[in-house]
Structure 1
């Protein structure tokens, strides 16, 4: 590994995550031929094809899968050391930061975060990446995002976590003039009603886990990718949906909807900011995370 160019390692890690020469080139801000040339050098170095074309993109070989964790972590450590020696002046910075959020996070938290960041650093760019909870750990490790805000803990020793919202709970949201449900919701009504559910990739699956543990089955009539589509759907149907109380209350204030307690016990949950531990040595990363915490806390 002593003879491996650091740029080759960066191409390898980026290509592994992107599974596409085109996307890897875009993320690295280089041309596609440059990525192809780097891949050829990597193949020669390791004596393996490393990536093979398939219908799903550039699939890693067994050797590439074995190499990836070590190369990814080594690259992240090097970047962290280099970044730690750079000065960061928020007022004059034009740096781009990437934050992974669900659409709920965008609606409930992003306005506060953006206002706070731009008050201190008016020239920075914030890119919001739609959260895919199963990929969050890898996104942090590879530097695809600087931080992740989610309700489901990312269980990895290399990830730091700071709670930004506590004691949030799940409730049921439905049409204010629902044909069969009034001001309270029984378990029988819940089971018999038709439901709209949101993709598990958002990380909001605690209520689903409880239902599964209790052996309760409901009638799922609609699955959507985003919570933001629910208000219009619910006000024009008799569907029920489970949402965090804060955003459900917001939806109910803006549309003819009502919020009811769930007829079964779901533990309260926390929303937390997650970031790669070793990146805290970076002044820019430290400022970014602390600013998000302050923004959500309202300080």
Structure 2
């Protein structure tokens, strides 16, 4: 096989990521029969089924798994080169951007970020993808998202990083009228109290790491997926929760809650923007990342 149609490569990579002909067609803005026809051509080219239907969708064969990294990276490089030659005018753009963000980010960063973006590019579309910290490296590599905002560093090769919020810290949040905790919190009280914990997929697990390193165990009574549910939960219970100080302070202003220092040391942390370095060849991607940095810096 000496040549392969670039459109077939795009279908292969999209189908591999989506694991669904229907989703692949939606992402490519083509019909399902078009994706099916492209898949039949790919099967003939590689003399392999490539994808097999299962209860979980279109599962890749061993050959497809071998082909995917090279084709994905090659396609990303080609797209990057093509994008670099295009002019980008924010005010005329109708481009769609995807940003991975936690619900904390949605509450604290998204309003001013969206206002800043739409002031320059009123017709762009921003899709916020709920952050799953274990998947973001793959999301960036495959182009599922344009950028990621998170507190956990992403150390993969080819990923650039810009700090948006520095010297952030974790605190404890609880009901203002908690039955046995006053204006300060001892380690013994912390261990004996019941806790609400937010899913590790948000990337906010630094305090948990410190507790684990010190061999400290607490009573976890509730696990939730999002920080946004905490104010109502805490004000109607005797649970404690650990969360970043900035958003905890906002919750205190809106609900009968109090913020206390943690009874153990947790390092300060940063919230940063991450993106795939080769994508900055694209003027549209470069504008998007620069605008995010500008929006947060101007707050």
What's the TM-score once normalised by structure 2's chain length? 0.97
Distance 1:68 1:16 in 2: 8
Which residue of 2 is the match for residue 107 of structure 1? 107
> What secondary structure sits across from 2:266 in the alignment?
coil
CA, structure 1 residues 265+110, in 2 after alignment: closer, same or farther (shift >3 Å)? Answer: same
Distance 1:19 1:198 in 2: 29
Measured after TM superposition, the shift of residue 139 of structure 1 is 1.3
Which residue of 2 is the match for residue 66 of structure 1? 66
- 1:217 correspondence with 2:213: no
- Would you identify which runs of 4 or more consecutive aligned residues in structure 1 move more than 3 Å? none
Correspondences of 1:100-139 after superposition (within 5 Å): 100-139=100-139
Distance 2:62 2:255 in 1: 52
Distance 2:138 2:118 in 1: 28
- 1:148 correspondence with 2:148: yes
Which residue of 2 is the match for residue 202 of structure 1? 202
Which residue of 2 is the match for residue 92 of structure 1? 92
Moved more, 210-219 or 244-253: 210-219
CA, structure 1 residues 2+268, in 2 after alignment: closer, same or farther (shift >3 Å)? Answer: farther
CA, structure 1 residues 193+91, in 2 after alignment: closer, same or farther (shift >3 Å)? Answer: same
> What secondary structure sits across from 2:33 in the alignment?
helix
> What secondary structure sits across from 2:135 in the alignment?
helix
Which residue of 2 is the match for residue 257 of structure 1? 257
Distance 1:242 1:43 in 2: 51
1:75-105 CA-to-partner distances (Å, cap 9, x unmatched) read 1100000000110011221111111110000
1:202-241 CA-to-partner distances (Å, cap 9, x unmatched) read 1111111111111111111111111111111111001111
Distance 1:58 1:50 in 2: 9
Moved more, 104-113 or 7-16: 7-16
Distance 2:177 2:53 in 1: 54
Which residue of 1 is the match for residue 34 of structure 2? 34
Q: How many residues align?
A: 299
Moved more, 288-297 or 7-16: 7-16
Which residue of 1 is the match for residue 45 of structure 2? 45
Moved more, 264-273 or 64-73: 64-73
Distance 1:217 1:48 in 2: 52
Measured after TM superposition, the shift of residue 2 of structure 1 is 4.2
Moved more, 261-270 or 58-67: 58-67
Distance 2:232 2:165 in 1: 27
RMSD (Å), alpha carbons: 1.2
Correspondences of 1:275-294 after superposition (within 5 Å): 275-294=275-294
Q: Which 5+ residue runs of structure 1 have no aligned equivalent?
A: none
Measured after TM superposition, the shift of residue 179 of structure 1 is 1.0
Distance 2:54 2:197 in 1: 32
Which residue of 2 is the match for residue 177 of structure 1? 177
Distance 1:255 1:224 in 2: 19
1:250-296 CA-to-partner distances (Å, cap 9, x unmatched) read 01110011111111111111111001101111111111100100000
Distance 1:51 1:214 in 2: 47
Which residue of 2 is the match for residue 274 of structure 1? 274
Measured after TM superposition, the shift of residue 46 of structure 1 is 1.7
Which residue of 2 is the match for residue 189 of structure 1? 189
